[in-house]
Every structure is written in structure tokens, then in C-alpha cells.
């Protein structure tokens, strides 16, 4: 698996490697070089759509594409909160969603806590993310988050 924090838009050779190797690719929406000026969800969606188009044109299999809204990658606290809260709008693109909120600075800003004390904030964002369409989560505290994911999946997807 390749996790590209630039969504295949920074290194033109990377998309060829992904297509040739037939591996899954995570397309991350990164706003570090192009800060959002309007609706963050619409801008992230457009950014991810550009990455999807690049991937498909290069021959990447549709089933190998995973989308990541890029929580914390050039986004404000408010923008990160909006992305988690409106994740279903990105799920509508029809690809698996990866959500990486674990211990991120926006949680610290909201709760006024250092990274090591952000477990509950992470748990809240992961549970809400699953309810809004996240299929994969990246976390630090694997044990508690795995239990949270299993419970969230049982409620949201009827999987247990």
C-alpha cells in the first residue's frame, strides 16, 4: 500500500508505480500549499476527485483507491471539525474512506490537552467518523480504538 500525502499530484512517477504494481493507494487531501478559501468539504472533495482522475487515467484499479480527507494537513481547527462532521459528503464519492484523527492538534485545541491526553477526543472523532462513513481509521491507541470501532460498526453497520 502507498499512502501519498499529496494525493498523486506532487510526484508524477508515483501514480505509474501504483498502477504497475497493482497496490492500494491512499489519496490524501493536503491543503498545505493551497489553503482553503471557501467550503472546506467542497474543496477537499474536488482535490480528491483530481487524485481519483489521475489514478484511473494511469490505470490504477478503482478497487485499489482509498480516500483520506487529510485531517491536519493544512487545515484549521474549524475545517478539521467540519470534515469529520460532514464526512458522508466524501463517502458519496464511492470509495473507502480512511480517517486519521488520532491525537491531532485540532483535538488538543478543542480540549486544551497535550497529545498523550487526547484519547477521549480521538475516540469521539473516530466514532463520529465511522457513523459518517469512515471505513478505515489510523490510530495510536490500538486496543481501546479497536474496541470502539467494533462497537461503532455494530451500531452503524450491524456488524459484530
Residue-by-residue pLDDT tens, the chain, 160 positions: 999 999 999 998 999 999 999 999 999 999 999 888 899 999 999 999 999 999 999 999 999 999 999 999 999 999 999 999 999 999 999 999 999 999 999 999 999 999 999 999 999 999 999 999 999 999 999 999 999 999 999 999 998 8
User: Which one of 9, 86, 104, 132 is the catalytic residue?
Assistant: 104
SS3 28: strand
- In the residue annotation, 138 being an active-site residue is answered as yes
Which among 16, 50, 91, 138 is annotated as catalytic?
138
Per-residue pLDDT, 12 = 86
Q: Which of 156, 144, 153, 155 is nearest to 103 (CA)?
A: 144
Specify the pLDDT at position 46: 96
Residue 2 CB: number of other CB atoms within 10 A?
15
Looking at residue 22, the DSSP 8-state letter turns out to be T
Question: Which CATH number is 54's domain given?
Answer: 3.20.20.20
Cell of 84: 469529520
Q: Domain tally for the chain?
A: 1
pTM: 0.95
Q: Is 118 a catalytic residue?
A: no
| Structural domain for 143, as ranges | 2-157
Amino acid at each position: 500500500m502507498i499512502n501519498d500525502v499529496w494525493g498523486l499530484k506532487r510526484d508524477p512517477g508515483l501514480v505509474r508505480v501504483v498502477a504497475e504494481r497493482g497496490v492500494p493507494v491512499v489519496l490524501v487531501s493536503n491543503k498545505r500549499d493551497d489553503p482553503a478559501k471557501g467550503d472546506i468539504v467542497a474543496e477537499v472533495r474536488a482535490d480528491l476527485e483530481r487524485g481519483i482522475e489521475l489514478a484511473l487515467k494511469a490505470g490504477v484499479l478503482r478497487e485499489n483507491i482509498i480516500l483520506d480527507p487529510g485531517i491536519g494537513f493544512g487545515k484549521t481547527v474549524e475545517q478539521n471539525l467540519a470534515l469529520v462532521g460532514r464526512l458522508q459528503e466524501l463517502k458519496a464519492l464511492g470509495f473507502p474512506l480512511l480517517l486519521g484523527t488520532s491525537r491531532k492538534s485540532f483535538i488538543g485545541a478543542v480540549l486544551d490537552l497535550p497529545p498523550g491526553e487526547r484519547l477521549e477526543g480521538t475516540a469521539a472523532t473516530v466514532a463520529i467518523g465511522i457513523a459518517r462513513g469512515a471505513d478505515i481509521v489510523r490510530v495510536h491507541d490500538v486496543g481501546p480504538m479497536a474496541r470502539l470501532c467494533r462497537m461503532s460498526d455494530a451500531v452503524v453497520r450491524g456488524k459484530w
